[in-house]
Amino acid sequence: MHYAELDLRRHPELYRVGIGEQGVLLVQPYKGEILPYWRFATPQAARESSEKIYALFLDYLAAGDFVGADMARKFLQMGFTRARRYANHKGGKKYDGPVPDDKKGQSGAHGRAELPRQPEDPVKAESARIFKAKWDEAEAHPQYAAMKKAHREQYG
């Protein structure tokens, strides 16, 4: 499915709840609505970003828009994972060598060696903790859980 070409607000039946951050930088119109607020370089930026994205998450829930809520949740997750990567690897580069063309956009090392971890960057580690708290809050939200279950039951 070519998410980048779809408007999943108009066609939520085409959305499949994925694993992890799958589709987060493709699914429109949500990418355009959430990405401008996604920042993790400093704890202050992470706090402001995670609070704004969580507010969007709540707005999507209030509107009955599960796909939007799930995309906001994924951006919170991605804030955590990217900040952790930068905390562990200076410059954020986790694997050695380029991603093979046929594997771009997929997660995992794809046969590449993981670079050695650097001493933890405490600034990025704090940014990661901030995003993790908001991600956990979103995951635990009872309305989100109910909507996720209903979406899976209705659409597969």
Measure CA 46 to chain center.
13
Residue 35 lies in a domain: yes
Where in the sequence is the domain holding 10, given as residue range(s)? 3-93+117-155
8 Å CB contact between 31 and 74:
no
Residue 112 lies in a domain: no
- Which run of H or of E encompasses 54? helix 43-62
Residue 63 lies in a domain: yes
Q: How many CB atoms lie within 10 A of CB 29?
A: 15
Number of domains in the chain: 1
Which residue numbers in the chain have pLDDT < 50?
A: 102-106
Query: For residue range 65-104, what is the model confidence (pLDDT) as tens digits?
Result: 999 999 999 999 999 999 988 788 765 555 555 655 544 4
Separation of alpha carbons 17 and 107, rounded Å = 16
Residue 72 lies in a domain: yes
Q: How many CB atoms lie within 10 A of CB 69?
A: 26
Residue 129 lies in a domain: yes
Residue 13 lies in a domain: yes
